[in-house]
Chains A and B, each alone.
Chain A
Amino acid sequence: MKPGALAYFKPTTVTEAIGLLVDGGMDAKVIAGGQSLVPMLNLRMVAAERLVDVGGIAEMKQWSADDREVWIGACVTHDQIQIGEVADPSNGLMPKVASKIAYQAVRNRGTIGGSLSLADPAADWLTTTAALGATIEWEGPDGKKSCPADEFVFAAYTTQLDISDVLTGVRIPRLPPDATWGTYKLCRKAGEFAHAMAMVISAGARSRAFLGATDGAPIRLMHTETLVADFRNWESGHTALVSQALEADIADSGREFTDIQLWQSRTCLLRSIQMSLGFQPIKPEGV
């Protein structure tokens, strides 16, 4: 398998990259780590006549941190987050998520910005940045723009990015030191895109809960958040309460869930909540 003929450009500034994208129009694609784009080019699922490689733009590989937030450039790899090379605003959640993305060879190349730009519904960073209340930043012919991560995705593979926009970075507020989290994703084969995913973050009397790997954008679970904020420990009676809250949340979202998807999502959510309360996640055999 091999990609079709294409032109390759490696700009060194964001402005130059946007110019190359504008010139290329619909036939131009941004490439960063290429861990989703190259397979799609290999399979000829995507036709691109022009690749604009943002890997040569120094500022997009950087990160910065202060006591309120961490800014991560779009070309920072999953591996850099996994091994703690980048400051962690999330009390360990982001390194944990990064370590479970695909495989090590993919983590060595794949980038947080590339993953968000593609917006595969099962991409871990979509749900993680939404749960952390991050801000996604991009630049295009009309200048710089940004939005909260939970408003970035409209539908599967469809984001606020216009065809000539470049996602430049993610701004993530630091969690309070006492914040706890839990996350669980369900994969039939280790390393594949998840069939269901949930993430819960609790800090003091507030919680945030999201479902990922849906048919579109991550779903915020407001009923579940209210419920979980009162949990101080896990009790068996909580299972029924969480199930009710989840069903109310899914009804509110207006999204279609098959019985199987509902069961899978509920399993992920229950395990995430338990984990956020200090329980070790149930470990699948051999992983």
Chain B
Amino acid sequence: MTDARTIRFTLNGAPVSVSVMPHETLIEMLSLRLELKGARESCGQGLCGCCTVYVNGKSVSSCLYLAQLVDGANVVTIEGINDGARLDPVQEAFIEVGAFQCGFCTPGFIMMARELLDVHPNPTDDEIRHYLIGNLCRCSAYPEIVEAVKLAARRRAAGTAPALAQELSA
């Protein structure tokens, strides 16, 4: 039982099977075995939010999630939220508002912000801050991040294509 075991799950819409050790965390498997570098291990204790991914539609800290537990589950990472032609509205909003400096924390913030908008489609500043308190930005781009979430909320409500996506596809 301490040996590697093959697990099967859905990753960003596609079925995958991976051989993992029982002690391996989800973030290790994603970044080392599957070469998905968007979610990052930073604190390893669930305090920073940099490794946030979705398992069965809920955000989790993938550093606190044993890889074996995703057997049969549906996993989505930052690499899987665009539709192939266009970035997600939250990604667009982060770019337009400039809601980052170094970008290390950004995938985690975007994953959390998307879940936030599912729960609170028209969030107040307080709701945004409360939902995102588990994500740390050491560049301290927090004011811009709050603005980006509000912009994404307006875009989602209006159902309009983000300007940058239009430019990119033009």
> Which residues from chain A sit less than 8 Å from chain B, CB to CB?
1-9, 31, 34-35, 38-39, 41-43, 50-51, 53, 55, 79, 99, 102-106, 108-109, 190-191, 286-287
Q: Which of B63, B115, B126 contacts A42 (CB 8 A)?
A: B63
Give complex CA distance A39, B66 in Å: 11
**CB under 8 Å from chain A, chain B span 21-67:** 21-25, 28, 41, 44-46, 49, 52, 58-61, 63-66
Q: Is the CB of A286 within 8 A of B45?
A: no
Q: Is the CB of A103 within 8 A of B23?
A: no
Enumerate chain B residues within 8 angstroms of A109, measured Cβ to Cβ.
Answer: 58, 60-61, 64-65
Q: Is the CB of A39 within 8 A of B46?
A: yes
- Shortest CB-to-CB span from A212 to chain B, Å, is 20
Give complex CA distance A103, B2 in Å: 31
Q: Which of A6, A9, A35 contacts B23 (CB 8 A)?
A: A6
Give complex CA distance A59, B58 in Å: 21
Give complex CA distance A103, B60 in Å: 10
Check B110 for interface membership: any CB of A closer than 8 A: no
Given the known inter-chain contacts A2-B24, A108-B58, A109-B65, please indicate yes or no for A103 contacting B1, CB distance below 8 A.
Answer: no
Enumerate chain B residues within 8 angstroms of A41, measured Cβ to Cβ.
Answer: 23
- Shortest CB-to-CB span from A186 to chain B, Å, is 15
Given the known inter-chain contacts A8-B22, A38-B66, please indicate yes or no for A43 contacting B44, CB distance below 8 A.
Answer: yes
Enumerate chain B residues within 8 angstroms of A50, measured Cβ to Cβ.
Answer: 1
> Which residues from chain B sit less than 8 Å from chain A, CB to CB?
1-2, 21-25, 28, 41, 44-46, 49, 52, 58-61, 63-66, 68-69, 112, 115-116, 126, 129-131, 133-135
Q: Which of A43, A53, A79 contacts B69 (CB 8 A)?
A: A53
- Shortest CB-to-CB span from A252 to chain B, Å, is 36
Q: Is the CB of B69 within 8 A of A3?
A: no
Enumerate chain A residues within 8 angstroms of B65, measured Cβ to Cβ.
Answer: 34, 38, 109
Give complex CA distance A5, B65 in Å: 15
Give complex CA distance A4, B24 in Å: 9
Give complex CA distance A204, B135 in Å: 42
Q: Is the CB of B134 within 8 A of A103?
A: yes
Q: Is the CB of B46 within 8 A of A35?
A: yes
Q: Is the CB of B1 within 8 A of A8?
A: yes
Give complex CA distance A42, B69 in Å: 16
Give complex CA distance A42, B45 in Å: 7
Nearest residue, chain B, Cβ from A83: B119
Q: Is the CB of B44 within 8 A of A7?
A: no
Q: Is the CB of A105 within 8 A of B23?
A: no
Give complex CA distance A35, B25 in Å: 12
Q: Is the CB of A106 within 8 A of B25?
A: no
Q: Is the CB of A7 within 8 A of B129?
A: no
Give complex CA distance A285, B135 in Å: 18
Nearest residue, chain A, Cβ from B63: A42
Given the known inter-chain contacts A3-B25, A38-B25, A287-B129, please indicate yes or no for A104 contacting B2, CB distance below 8 A.
Answer: no
Enumerate chain B residues within 8 angstroms of A39, measured Cβ to Cβ.
Answer: 44-46, 64
Q: Is the CB of A106 within 8 A of B28?
A: no
Q: Is the CB of A8 within 8 A of B68?
A: yes
Give complex CA distance A99, B131 in Å: 10
Identify 19 residue pairs between A and B in the complex whose beta-carbon atoms are under 8 Å apart, listed by A's number. A2-B24, A5-B23, A8-B1, A8-B22, A39-B64, A41-B23, A42-B45, A42-B63, A43-B45, A51-B66, A79-B58, A102-B134, A104-B115, A105-B46, A105-B52, A105-B112, A106-B46, A109-B64, A190-B130
- Shortest CB-to-CB span from A81 to chain B, Å, is 14
Q: Is the CB of B61 within 8 A of A2?
A: no
Enumerate chain A residues within 8 angstroms of B64, measured Cβ to Cβ.
Answer: 34-35, 38-39, 42, 106, 109
